[in-house]
Structure 1
Amino acid sequence: MAEDPPLLDVEVQAEGLDGLVRRLREEEDGAALRKELAKNLREELKPAAALAKSGIMAMSSAGPGTSPALRSSIAKRIKPEVKLGGRWTGARVKSRKIPGIRGFANAPKRTQAKGGWRTQSWGNGTWRTQTGRVDWFDRAMDGRLNAYRKACLKAMEAMAARIAGRG
């Protein structure tokens, strides 16, 4: 089964990542080196994921304590992701769909939309528009992209230095 596309993501592009991945493949233990590079890149993006999680948790909740909780369910699905090969090579923070939460799979996308989302009121069946916190995901990373780019470059340079040291 194909993986659902991400709803929200922030990518960090770094020059030379494709070349570094090619060089890793040429190494004798390239799989272990790729795994370590991916781990290091994910570690560098964890602060960005934490900021995005705090962004959704800061959204107000005026409704009754229904279960499962929408904000915490969205926060659990925000993760840093690294792919080294395939259709794209890069590192990003993204929030995935949450299909099991009250039939509201697109919650990460809708809760940050300026126009809100339509929902049916309990009991009387009338429709109403709810609004979340506008751009909670994007605002969490505003002004910090260069810091995350530098952190990813640092992880790449450390791996490149390790490879060069072998040679």
Structure 2
Amino acid sequence: MNILSAITPLNNDYCEQIIDIVLPIQQIEFNVPITIQDQPDLLDIEKNYHQTGGNFWGAKHNELLVGTIGLIAFDKHAGAIRKMFVRKDYRGKEWGTGQLLLDTLIDYCRQNQIADIYLGTVDVLKAAHRFYERNGFTRLAKNELPQSFPLMSADTIFYHLHLTN
């Protein structure tokens, strides 16, 4: 079993490392036509995540950042998952990176009375769809999202999870 050293909150000191994970996965691995200009949130983690009442976490193996997940709180009791990405070599059940990141975010939501978690994703990320569905997320149509949900232009598939106590 492979062991991650930590899941820790990230701040603006990590912007460059976060971008180094996210962009290659989007652009090279999955051919999503998206640039850093389309994702200005990555240039100011503190403003776009922390100041909303959300947070941004990273999974580390030794000192290497290997995975990310962010939460934007967009309503008193609702949040949007953003930037859930894991380096290819650190994916899968043997690492559990994605699960640890998601569990950390869900624990944070429970502690902060965020009962509804939403996310948008793209069609090509089939493994991500299965992962969210295994974790209790249900698919919903774009027109079923809350009006205040922060839409990303690339997203075409949406999910929701309602947390119960």
TM-score (norm 1): 0.26
TM-score (norm 2): 0.26
Pick 1 or 2: higher relative contact order, CA cutoff 8 A, min separation 6: 1
Structure with greater helix share of residues: 1
Return the index of the structure with the highest Cα Rg. 1
